[in-house]
């Protein structure tokens, strides 16, 4: 059973850092209706700290129960009640998907929970007052799946393209800031890029560092959609998206403004922080076999933290993944090419990319804003998970000013 400790905004629910971070993020989703406080707290109270099988079992049980409520509401003609429950269920299934690599049968867990997530997410979308338009965005020899959420009203409107992080579901992005964007007058494009969700689980397409080759096709398609003002295209990127977006912005200059939540210079730094000095030496020496053996010998619960991060890179071994992650860096030369005005979020207690938002801010020569989110504001932690309202205010005020969207002020 978890122990809930009153520690101000730090909110310690689990000793296991990953579980604690996921719980804080779940509580933050209450703001947009993608989770419920009571459902979250009663679920985590049944979970054994550090036991990922327990995490999946209890969250899946909650998701099943809430999904059944949604089905019953829809069957009885209560569309809004039904869609609200289905969104929460999708969120709860999604938080099972991202820990599958720590389970005894990872593929079985991932397949089952992702199928349930996708079913409930798509049911929810179908019940919206204005359901989104499904997209298949041309990408090399395949397509990237996505959705176009149109803002109310006729005529050209500003449009927000949203870039996810390493493991986030689309159902995190849309209710996170996407639904608020449509209320403020923005169209919204959400998609799965290489290594993300459907692109990884259904099409086997891994991450890539050169996201200009991902984002430019998204822009090309978006500009051909109805009621999109080509002069008022803006970007939001979260977590590891805070690397992909500035990388793409070094080459893609059609955005009017961008929000990086957080800003990332070097993805591999978070990887190296998990290694012992001996493991770092082995990696630096190019000792592939020795490094892999050392990682494989780690306790299962420790190795999981590497496994779930490694999976989307699509590399054969841990050593190869670490070498690949080193390519995910914003160099001074790349930063110098960024001409899009950017807001860079920088929260206290940033657990993955500490100090990197400031570094990126210092590297970019053009128009930029560095926004601190503090513990005193209740906004500490990676991507300020429990301060969604405050973050939305700051992010959209910045974007509104750059697209002249005075109606949402």
| Residues 191-239 pLDDT 10s | 999 999 999 999 999 999 999 999 999 999 999 999 999 999 999 999 9
Confidence of residue 4 (pLDDT cuts 50, 70, 90): very low
Span 293-303, mean pLDDT?
85
User: Please, where are the H alpha helices in 45-154?
Assistant: 52-75, 79-97, 106-126
Span 289-307, mean pLDDT?
87
Span 152-159, mean pLDDT?
96
Asked if pLDDT for residue 274 goes beyond 50, the answer is yes
Q: Is the dihedral of CA 169, 171, 172, 178 positive or negative?
A: positive
**What gap in Å lies between CA 375 and CA 348, rounded to an integer?**
6
Residue 332 burial class via C-beta count within 10 angstroms: exposed 0-12, middle 13-18, buried 19 and up: exposed
> Residue 265 corresponds to which tokens in the numbers above?
């210079």
Residue 263 burial (CB count, 10 A):
28
Mean pLDDT of the chain: 94
The full set of domains in the chain, from first to last, is: 17-126 (1.20.1440), 133-267+328-408 (3.40.50.1820), 269-325 (no CATH)
Query: 27 or 405, which is more confident?
Result: 27
Asked if pLDDT for residue 6 goes beyond 80, the answer is no
Asked if pLDDT for residue 392 goes beyond 60, the answer is yes
User: Tens of pLDDT along 242-263?
Assistant: 999 999 999 999 999 999 999 9
Residue 281 burial (CB count, 10 A):
13
How much is the pLDDT for 133? 98
Q: Is the dihedral of CA 280, 284, 288, 289 positive or negative?
A: negative
Confidence of residue 407 (pLDDT cuts 50, 70, 90): low
Confidence of residue 10 (pLDDT cuts 50, 70, 90): low
Asked if pLDDT for residue 409 goes beyond 80, the answer is no
| Mode of pairing for the β-strands spanning 142-149 and 157-163 | unpaired
Confidence of residue 5 (pLDDT cuts 50, 70, 90): very low
pTM of this prediction?
0.94
User: How long a stretch of residues is the chain?
Assistant: 409
Confidence of residue 408 (pLDDT cuts 50, 70, 90): low
Span 315-320, mean pLDDT?
96
3-state secondary structure of 167: coil
């Amino acid at each position: 059973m978890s122990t809930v400790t009153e520690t101000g905004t730090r909110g310690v629910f689990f000793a296991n850092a990953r579980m604690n971070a996921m719980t804080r993020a779940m509580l933050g989703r209450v703001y947009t209706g993608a989770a419920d406080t009571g459902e979250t707290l009663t679920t985590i109270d049944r979970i054994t700290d550090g036991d990922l099988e327990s995490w999946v079992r209890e969250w899946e049980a909650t998701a099943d129960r809430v999904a059944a409520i949604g089905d019953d509401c829809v069957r009885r003609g209560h569309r809004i009640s039904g869609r609200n429950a289905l969104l929460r269920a999708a969120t709860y299934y999604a938080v099972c998907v991202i820990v599958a690599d720590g389970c005894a049968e990872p593929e079985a867990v991932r397949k089952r929970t992702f199928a349930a997530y996708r079913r409930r997410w798509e049911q929810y979308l179908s019940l919206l007052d204005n359901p989104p338009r499904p997209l298949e965005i041309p990408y090399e020899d395949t397509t990237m799946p996505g959705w176009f959420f149109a803002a109310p009203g006729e005529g050209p409107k500003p449009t927000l393209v949203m870039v996810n992080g390493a493991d986030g579901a689309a159902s995190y992005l849309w209710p996170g800031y996407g639904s608020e964007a449509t209320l403020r007058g923005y169209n919204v494009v959400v998609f799965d890029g290489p290594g993300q969700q459907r692109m990884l689980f259904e099409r086997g397409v891994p991450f890539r560092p050169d996201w200009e080759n991902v984002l430019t096709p998204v822009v090309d398609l978006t500009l051909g959609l109805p009621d999109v003002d080509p002069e008022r295209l803006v970007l939001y990127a979260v977590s590891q998206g805070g690397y992909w977006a500035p990388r793409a912005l070094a080459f893609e200059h059609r955005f009017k403004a961008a929000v990086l939540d957080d800003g990332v210079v070097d993805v591999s730094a978070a990887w190296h922080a998990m290694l012992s000095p001996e493991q770092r030496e082995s990696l630096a020496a190019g000792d592939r076999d020795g490094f892999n053996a050392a990682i494989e010998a780690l306790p299962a619960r420790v190795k999981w933290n590497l496994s779930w991060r490694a999976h989307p890179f699509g590399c054969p071994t841990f050593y190869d993944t670490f070498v690949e992650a080193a390519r995910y860096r914003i160099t001074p030369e790349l930063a110098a090419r960024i001409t899009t005005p950017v807001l860079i979020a920088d929260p206290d207690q940033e657990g993955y990319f500490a100090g990197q938002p400031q570094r990126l801010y210092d590297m970019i020569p053009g128009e930029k804003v560095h926004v601190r989110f503090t513990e005193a504001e209740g906004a500490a932690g990676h991507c300020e998970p429990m301060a969604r309202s405050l973050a939305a205010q700051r992010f959209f005020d910045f974007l509104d000013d750059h697209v002249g969207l005075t109606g949402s002020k």
